[in-house]
Amino acid sequence: MQAYPPALIHHFFSGRTWIEGAALDQLAEMSRLPGVSEIAAFPDLHPGKYGATGVALASERLLPLLVGNDIGCGMSLFQLDLPPHKLKIDKAAERLRQLEAEEIGNPALLLEEAGLPTSLAPDALGTIGGGNHFCELQAIDALAEGGVATGLDGHALYLLVHSGSRSLGAAFFSEAVDAHPDLAAGLLPGSQGAVTWLANHDRCVAWASLNRRLIAARAAAALRADLRLVADVPHNLVRSSGRAFVHYKGAAAVTPGELAPIAGSRASLSYVVCPTADVSRSLGGISHGAGRKYDRASMHGRAGRNRSEREQLLRNAWGGIAICDDRALVIEEAAAAYKDAGQVVADLENEKLVSVLASFRPLVTFKKAVDEAEVEQRRRKPKYRREGGRGRERY
């Protein structure tokens, strides 16, 4: 690939924030990609598969590899008409365990209402997925005057949903990789490849937003509550800005004055912030979460070494509960795997990119539940063994 002069890199983080050297190396490599003119790096910066995650990057070309396969991934915050003082956490966890079994209506009709093709992964709608995705029941821990002015209510419960385009984004990403062997060089604006990828991208962004809304609707139904949308902010996408395309790779795409959630871990506070006019300096981007401190592989051995430790990982200091029946995921998503979200937010505030409106404590975090009906069916299913030439016999 032709060498290009490095683009300008802006660091919106302080020396108090953990930044891995590998992420800085990837950042330098990204600055030399074709057509890249400017990069904003945020305090949740960490290494990624196709470049550092936690950046906004401006380029004359489209760079689908930077957006990755979870196109449109984002976070949505919803307010419930439930007061925290009436919440019984154990009961709420029991109900939320059945979250993905709640009816969501006719998927084809929901897609049509959203202006999307009815064949666009209807069976995946309303599902969270794996990795760092979740649906979390929260309560406000601290509320600033600015938060009150925006309508945040300290006497209500909230849902924070983090999910994306599921198998849909992965399929479109694979198509782009197969169709363009030199995808790392990007796609020229107006080319057939760029037009096709952008159309698929836009569908994924809309589908992912609908998906988060349906996840929240399922959770609200399980909790016997009504809900209203507070914020819906994507962080894996591209937006056109004049002659450039701004790529948000694990960075929240925001505008001044709108509310934006910044997630902590399941055992630390999350935040809602209001971006200021100064986000123009950061290409309209901010952190979307704490960012990983340790990768998934290295977490095995750092946490959850025995059953007792793993059970402790499913509880937090506020009496909150995590629903995750995947032992590996419990370890990989432990709070210790993530940076200090409070420090991330402090860096953004010190850079005058945001003002903090509220902090939220996690009460019930749904990640992955075993289908108990399937488990029971497998348990009851007869098992067989083969003995000589007599065929299969039950035992």
Catalytically annotated residue among 133, 201, 288, 300: 288
**Mean of per-residue pLDDT scores for the chain:** 91
Q: Model pTM?
A: 0.91
Closest Cα partner for 7 from 31, 30, 33? 31
Summarised one tens digit per residue, pLDDT across range 178-197 is 999 999 999 999 999 999 99
Rounded to 10 degrees, the C-alpha dihedral 137/140/146/150 comes to 40
Report whether 339 contacts 293 (CB < 8 A).
Answer: yes
Confidence at 241, pLDDT banded by 50, 70, 90 = confident
Phi and psi of 273, rounded to 5°? -125, 165
288 noted as active-site residue = yes
Mean pLDDT, range 316-324, rounded to an integer: 95
Q: Please tell me the predicted confidence (pLDDT) of residue 3.
A: 64
Summarised one tens digit per residue, pLDDT across range 150-180 is 999 999 999 999 999 999 999 999 999 999 9
Please name each of the domains of the chain with its CATH number: 73-232+253-394 (3.90.1860.10)
Q: Please tell me the predicted confidence (pLDDT) of residue 258.
A: 96
CB within 8 A of 246, min separation 6: which ones?
Answer: 56, 57, 58, 238, 239, 240, 253, 283, 284, 285
Three-class DSSP category at 34: coil
Confidence at 40, pLDDT banded by 50, 70, 90 = very high
Confidence at 46, pLDDT banded by 50, 70, 90 = very high
HSE at residue 172, side-chain half, CA atoms within 13 A, is 28
What DSSP string describes 267-298? TS-EEEEEE-GGGGGGTTEEE-B--BSS-HHH
Distance CA 32, CA 27 (A): 9
Report whether 161 contacts 78 (CB < 8 A).
Answer: yes
Question: Does residue 384 have a pLDDT over 80?
Answer: no
Summarised one tens digit per residue, pLDDT across range 101-139 is 999 899 999 999 999 999 999 999 999 999 999 999 999
